Chain A
Amino acid sequence: GAVVSQHPSWVICKSGTSVKIECRSLDFQATTMFWYRQFPKQSLMLMATSNEGSKATYEQGVEKDKFLINHASLTLSTLTVTSAHPEDSSFYICSASKGSGGYEQYFGPGTRLTVT
């Protein structure tokens, strides 16, 4: 076990609209979930760490008002990209950890966002 799902797998939206991405741990409770962004041919860049029931911790340079993260339950975290722009087009990947730290993170399949 330790399966993480993401929805949608891909999305195309118009500039100025908002998009919500869901990350679910299917067979375990995820105390901590992480959101990464990956541009083509680049590494995974951590955007934020979310713990169930508390505010997300954002990495430096990531706008918390633009990338809204909600971790309402132990199995679900959502990332909402607000007022999306073409430069937000990227591969967004979530991961989940069973413990309170970063050991053994289980990755979702990713969501490819294209903003036109």
Chain B
Amino acid sequence: GENVEQHPSTLSVQEGDSAVIKCTYSDSASNYFPWYKQELGKRPQLIIDIRSNVGEKKDQRIAVTLNKTAKHFSLHITETQPEDSAVYFCAANSGNTPLVFGKGTRLSVIA
């Protein structure tokens, strides 16, 4: 089955700096890669996703890149703000399998 590795587990950045979180996956059949933001005690919120027919996707300060050959994808947050502080999860699946999540990255943005 699919296995998703996520790094780093914790990340501290100064406000205004960029943050990058990386994930690798094992199943070459996976073709959907979402990123979730989870605040303490709340549900995961989808912040951006990418499908395998696209190499990069951007939404304001958030971007995701996908390298299918190397089986890795990354989340980039620019101009970080304190409200970006949360736990971020990457995930992967193909059309008929459940999402498999990475272990999460705790992002702290220091004002």
Give A contacts to B, CB under 8 Å.
Answer: 34, 42-46, 49, 91, 93, 95, 99-105, 107-110, 112
Main secondary structure of the interface of A (DSSP, over half): loop
Rounded to whole angstroms, the CA-CA distance of A43 and B34 in the bound complex is 15
Rounded to whole angstroms, the CA-CA distance of A95 and B99 in the bound complex is 10
Most chain B CB within a 10 A radius of its CB, from A34, A44, A49: A44
Rounded to whole angstroms, the CA-CA distance of A45 and B98 in the bound complex is 11
Whether the pair B104, A43 counts as a contact (CB closer than 8 A) is yes
The 8 closest A-B pairs by CB, nearest first: A101-B96, A102-B93, A101-B95, A107-B43, A43-B103, A102-B98, A43-B101, A44-B101
A58 → chain B closest CB, angstroms = 12
A102 and B97 contact, Cβ closer than 8 Å, known pairs A43-B103, A44-B44, A107-B43? yes
Measured between beta carbons, the chain A residues less than 8 angstroms from B101 are 43-45
B76 → chain A closest CB, angstroms = 21
Whether the pair A103, B95 counts as a contact (CB closer than 8 A) is yes
Partner of B43, one of A93, A99, A100, A101: A93
Rounded to whole angstroms, the CA-CA distance of A101 and B3 in the bound complex is 18
Q: Could you write out 28 A-B pairs with CB less than 8 Å apart?
A: A34-B98, A43-B89, A43-B101, A43-B102, A44-B89, A44-B101, A46-B99, A46-B100, A91-B41, A93-B43, A93-B44, A99-B95, A100-B96, A101-B93, A101-B96, A102-B32, A102-B94, A102-B95, A102-B96, A102-B98, A103-B95, A104-B46, A104-B49, A107-B43, A108-B43, A109-B42, A110-B41, A112-B41
